[in-house]
Structure formats: C-alpha cells, structure tokens
Structure 1
C-alpha cells in the first residue's frame, strides 16, 4: 500500500464534503523520484502553483509540500513515484465556492511502475481514440482531478489488444495528446508536436525535452495537425514524467515506423544519464 499524508497527517481522512471528491475540484502532479530526489521539482511546483492560481484554489507554501514529500521518500530505492494532490477542500452543497475554503493537501508515495523493457527498446503500438478531447477553456490545460475524458479514452484500449497508448483528437479532429502522454514526431528532418493552446496538457517531460533540444540548437515546432500527418513521419514517440519517452513503432491504421530512430535514441540516451530509464543491455 502507498504511504499517504493528508494535510501532513498519516492517519487523517478525506471529508465526504471535500469538493475534490464531489466535483474533481482540484489539481495533481505526478513526480518521478530518482534516488530520493524529485525530478524536475521546480517545474512541477510551478505548474501546480500556476494552475492553482487560475482555478483560485487555496495556496499551499512550497515548504509544506517539501516536508510531506521528504517524510515519505525512501532514498535507498533507485526510483519512487510521488503524487501531490490539492483540492479546494470541504465546502457547502452546490457548485459555487466561497473563497474561504482552506484546501486539502494530499501527498503519497508509491513504488515505481513495472513497464515492460520492450516499450523503450522496440517501441509501442498506439491507436487513435474515438473519445474526443475536451478543449477551449483554460482549465482543460491543467491537470485537474476530473480525468473522465482520459478515463473513457483509455477504456477504449481494453477492446484493442496490443495497444499501449491511445492518441486523442480534439472536437475538430486534430491531434493533441495521448491518454497519459504527449506526442512528438519527426517529419522532413524536424521534430514536431501538437499545439496545446486549445486542448491538451503541456507535460513536464514534454517541456524538458523541448528545453533540452533547444539548448542543442534543435528546435521543436508546434502545429495543428490531423492524424494523417503521421504517415509522413520518419519516427514518433510519446512522453510523460515516468516513462520518459516510448518510441512508437506503429499507429493503428496509419503507419508502421522504421526501426531506425536516431532522435528517439538520442533522447533515450539523455534520459539514461539522469537515471529515468535504464540503459538497454
């Protein structure tokens, strides 16, 4: 069972009147921990704080998050997962909030997920989800506690064996993201990724990949694109904070990618240096 602190207490409980439970009125961050140190901590906290301000959630000082997190970390483990959850806290019946809510702060630690090593070495197959991605409002670009859109899209994969991820389109049929990842592809010698100003969440790993490549004079281009554009790509990968990246070997019904994927391998080599992924044997 994961180790959990609620408002800093190990034996506390969530109120049945908590708005996070009732309405998904809150945010979360999932953070990779490498040898007891949270990876890209500042970026995760910045996004949490920025979205909390957007949603007018109670502000939680960084020190409280750090105290809770360090109480749960096990530095003897090579990797852990820490999740931060912030809800608006208990409130009265109805959607409206008063602004006087004090918030509920949850931090929990879990073991590292056991993904198959072939996901990095030979790549994964992905499909296109029928469930459209909700967009058009600022809150849809935050990691809110309401994940019904992604839950329904992810459920589609249960009836499609062999797919490790599903790509989600917005209401106009354009690529935006995976059910739990961001998407990149190489086309015409340049790296491209969907624009996320209308729909989709700009993941921390996505942000760090763009930063790392930009520092090496390899720009990343954001664009609105339909799924058919992937047929023009020479390689493709998906990313998030725990997997780093998974190369994509096929998109169902669209394309099978070559096994030669130089840019994906270059990024994987970088992720090995920060111990997020294990070196292939």
Structure 2
C-alpha cells in the first residue's frame, strides 16, 4: 500500500497511528476502485470525476489526480491490476464532532485483478437501500450494508445480493449496477432507486446510445427481471457479468446484444 505525502507516494504499512484516523474509526472517507492496464487507469476521466463527486459529497479534499496517475505509472507493473484509492478525513479526536482542521489522508492499494466471473447468481436479501443515503450514492467507507448483503447471498448459494430500495423497487447488486433487456429496450434502475451511477454503468449507457439501442432508467419491481430477455450486472473491475439465476430461478442470458456488449470489453 502507498500513502500520499505531499506530492509523493511512499510505501506505507498500517500501524497503531492508523487507529486515530477517522476513516478507520468511523468510516469517514470514500474510495474509488479501478482497473489498471500497462500502468494506466482504464476509463481514467470517469473515475476521477466519480472520486471528485464522492469527496465533494463528504466535504473531503480530493487528491491531485495527476499524482495518482503518476504513482500508478511508477508502481504498477504492466500486468492486469486493480487499484483502490482511499481518501479519509485523517487523524482526529474521538467522537462525531466535526474536525476543525482536518488532515486528509490518501492511500493507494494495488493488487492483482481476479478472473472476472463468467456468470453471476443473484439472491434477494432483506437489506434495503435509501436513495437519500450517502452510502448508497457514493463509495463511502461505510460498507456494512453491502457486506451483510453479500454474506446473506452467499449463504443462500448465490454469488451476489440483489438489493431493492426502501419501497421494493429494484436498485442493483451489492457491488454492481443492474441492467436487463425487455424486448428491444435496455432498462436499468433509476438513480432515484438508490442506484449508484457507477463508471461501468456510464460506459454501458454510452455504448448503447452509440448503437441507437433504446434505454430507459426505470422504477421497476423485481418481477421485471423474470420476463427479461437478458439480465446483467456491471462494475469497473469485473466488467459485464451475465446473470443466470435469481433466487435459484433460471434466466435467459444467451442474447446477441449481451454477447456483443461483453466482447466490447468496456
């Protein structure tokens, strides 16, 4: 792991000092995860914009993006890697009192990219997502709901949780955005359903628009997925992942549009 010291990224080993950081104590921070190829961030500008929006929402200082890309170029080898950039409020006294003079910290973790799943099994979970929650709209360090949802999904024999909004509308996965094909139209949950506007979500929407495919951002019930011609999840690390079952029920997933989208390797 690396830590930003001024304008230099230096090797960092967590220590007892880390325990004074608001990110560790309270989850007071945000993160952005991205793929790295040949020392460069895929979809670089979209990730920079996403992190900036998250920092703004939590009143955090955005690290200089040029130093981030320079550090990745210097430390990431030419292989297929995953980068995770974490921004915290920094060390502060205990409690919830706002920090008068924050000392924000930035950390960069580099790791091997796991093999993307060829398919995904979803399980419905009772955890709900609120559109007004910062943890739903941004990648905050407060990931308790997502982790609990994944545990429940795995316990049910699935790979990922299917999460709905407070009123039961489809929202997305525990770590991915949701899409499905209904006839000639691709549908995805509206951001009003607590869906995060992920980088891969943006890339897929742009790809579909460029091919004149009708797209709708909708407020839909989970039953909409059962009659879909194809269902898939997306995130920046895994890309496009076909959904083959929901709660053990098999779904259609062999569709030319989905195959073309996966081949595009966005």
Give the structure-1-normalised TM-score: 0.87
Distance 1:191 1:217 in 2: 11
Structure-1 residue corresponding to 2:240: 245
- The equivalent of 1:18 in structure 2 is 21
2:41 to 20, 38, 43: 38
- Counterpart CA distance in 1 for 2:147 and 2:33 is 17
TM-score after normalising by structure 2:
0.91
Separation of aligned partners in 2, 1:248 and 1:197? 23
**Is the strand fraction higher in 1 or 2?**
2
Q: Given the superposition, is the C-alpha separation of residues 124 and 15 from structure 1 closer, same or farther in structure 2, using an over 3 Å criterion?
A: closer
Q: Which runs of 5+ in 1 are unaligned?
A: 275-281
The aligned residue for residue 278 of structure 1 is: none
Residue number in structure 2 paired with 1:125: 121
Offset at 1:195? 0.9
Secondary structure in 2 aligned to 1:208?
A: helix
226 and 68 in structure 1: CA distance in 2 versus 1, 3 angstrom threshold: same
Which of 47, 56, 59 is residue 56 of structure 1 equivalent to?
59
User: 1:170-224 CA deviation, whole Å, 9 max, x = no partner?
Assistant: 1111110101111100112200000123413111111100011112211321011
Aligned length: 260
For the 8 Å contact 1:181–1:240, the answer to whether it is kept is yes
Of stretches 143-152 and 125-134 in structure 1, the one that deviates more from structure 2 is 125-134
Q: What does residue 112 of structure 2 align with?
A: 111
Partner residue in 2 for 1:144: 140
Alpha-carbon RMSD across the aligned residues, in angstroms, is: 1.8
Deviations 1:248-267 (A, max 9, x none): 122126x5223531111010
Confirm or deny that 1:85 pairs with 2:82: no
Change (3 A) 1:218 1:27: same
Query: Residues of 2 paired with 1:155 and 1:61: CA distance?
Result: 35
Counterpart secondary structure, 2:71: helix
CA 1:266 to 1:99, structure 2 compared with 1: closer, same or farther past 3 Å? farther
SS at the partner of 1:6? strand
